[in-house]
Amino acid sequence: MSTLTVTTWSLEQTSSADVRPATAPEGDVRIVRAEVPSPEFSRFLYASVGGDIRWIDRLGWTYARWRDHLTRRGVETWVALDRGTPAGYVELEAQDEGVVEIVYFGLLPAFRGRRIGGHLLSQGASRAWDLADRWPGLSPTKRVWLHTCSKDGEHAMDNYLRRGFTLFDTKVEEEPETSTPGPWPRAYPA
């Protein structure tokens, strides 16, 4: 089996003042919270956004596992809609001691390169900073963090840095090479 060298960068914000908003894209693009936990919708977003960049860790999740994850306290999904069509999403997850992870962030391939990503990321980071306002009992956010890797889009790292995230860790590992699963089997060329 062949392997792929993957570099993973971890980035953080340590103050809400770190958020640097992007210019809103032209047209009717809105960012809304998916307030009703929906395993079907979340799996659609995950597979559709990550299918061409080898997001595979959740593809085997059962409906029950998706439901259990999405109904956890402090887990939120924020969706970018372009004229009513899902264009991408940000998944937030509260962790201990006021830490919030941006677990997933990205756009469906057809919506990349249209200035939606920067806007979605800045809104997602802002929602991470005020997460405790929507979840009574959570500690106020003290730190927002995420990771990106060399499999992500070519503009991912630049977008994170432009939105006010700073690098705090880098790891290089070998991973088994996998095909790009797409939102359904063989949706993208291998």
- Residue 56's pLDDT is 85
Q: Each residue of 99-124: pLDDT tens digit?
A: 999 999 999 999 998 999 999 999 99
- Residue 94's pLDDT is 98
Is 184 part of a structural domain of the chain? no
- Residue 190's pLDDT is 44
CATH number at residue 62: 3.40.630.30
Helix (H) and strand (E) counts for the chain?
A: 5, 7
Is 139 part of a structural domain of the chain? yes
Burial of 91 (0-12, 13-18, 19+ CB in 10 A): buried
Q: Each residue of 128-187: pLDDT tens digit?
A: 999 999 999 999 999 999 999 888 878 889 999 999 999 999 999 998 877 666 666 655
Is 188 part of a structural domain of the chain? no
- Residue 79's pLDDT is 98
Is 181 part of a structural domain of the chain? no
Question: How many C-alpha atoms does 121 have within 13 Å on its Cβ side?
Answer: 32
Is 187 part of a structural domain of the chain? no
Is 189 part of a structural domain of the chain? no
Residues 6+ apart with CB under 8 A from 142: 14, 97, 98, 99
The domain containing residue 100 runs over which residues?
A: 3-176
* Token pair for 23: 């210019």
Q: How many domains does one find in the chain?
A: 1
Is 109 part of a structural domain of the chain? yes
Asked if the model's pLDDT at residue 1 lies above 80, the reply is no
Burial of 3 (0-12, 13-18, 19+ CB in 10 A): exposed
Q: Each residue of 58-71: pLDDT tens digit?
A: 989 999 999 999 99
Is 190 part of a structural domain of the chain? no
Asked if the model's pLDDT at residue 55 lies above 60, the reply is yes
Q: What is the mean pLDDT of residues 39-66?
A: 92
The strand order across the sheet containing 3-13 reads 29-33, 75-82, 85-94, 99-107, 143-149, 3-13, 166-176
